[in-house]
Amino acid sequence: QPVLTQSSSASASLGSSVKLTCTLSSGHSTYTIAWHQQQSGRAPRFLLELEDSGNYNRGSGIPDRFSGSTSGSDRYLTISDLQSDDEADYFCEAWDSGVRSFGGGTRLTVL
C-alpha cells in the first residue's frame, strides 16, 4: 500500500496562506487521499478528500479556506486567511483494498 511522506513542521503568519504537502510513494501517484486536522488535545477531524485530478470534497462544516490541489505524486492542502485555531497537526491518509495508512503529520504554527 502507499507510503505517505509529510514535512514535520510548517509555519505561516496570521491572515496569510500556507500550502502543506503529502507525497505518495512511487507507483501510487493516482491515489486519492484525505486530509485531517488535529488540534492540540483533540481528536482528528476530516477536512477533505483529494483526487489525483485535483478535484476535492470538503467535509461537512469545513470552511472554504481549506482547499486541495495535486501535482503528480504530491497532494496539497492550502489554508488561506490563516486563523489562530488553524494551528494544529495535519495528517494525510490513503487507502488500498481496505488497508489504510497515514502520513507522519505536519505541525503547523501560526505566527
What is the binding site for other proteins (CB under 8 A)? 32-34, 36, 43-46, 49, 59, 91, 93, 95, 97-105
Closest separation in Å from C-beta 63 to other proteins: 17
Considering beta carbons, is residue 33 or 81 the nearer one to other proteins?
33
The sign of the CA dihedral 108, 7, 50, 35 is: negative
DSSP state, 105? -
Considering beta carbons, is residue 32 or 67 the nearer one to other proteins?
32
State the DSSP string of 1-33: ---EEE-SEEEE-TTS-EEEEEEEPTT-TT--E
Closest separation in Å from C-beta 50 to other proteins: 9
Give percent helix, percent strand, percent coil of the chain, each to the nearest 5.
5, 55, 45
> Pairing mode, if any, of strands 4-6 and 99-102?
unpaired
Considering beta carbons, is residue 54 or 104 the nearer one to other proteins?
104
Considering beta carbons, is residue 34 or 110 the nearer one to other proteins?
34
Closest separation in Å from C-beta 43 to other proteins: 5
Closest separation in Å from C-beta 17 to other proteins: 23
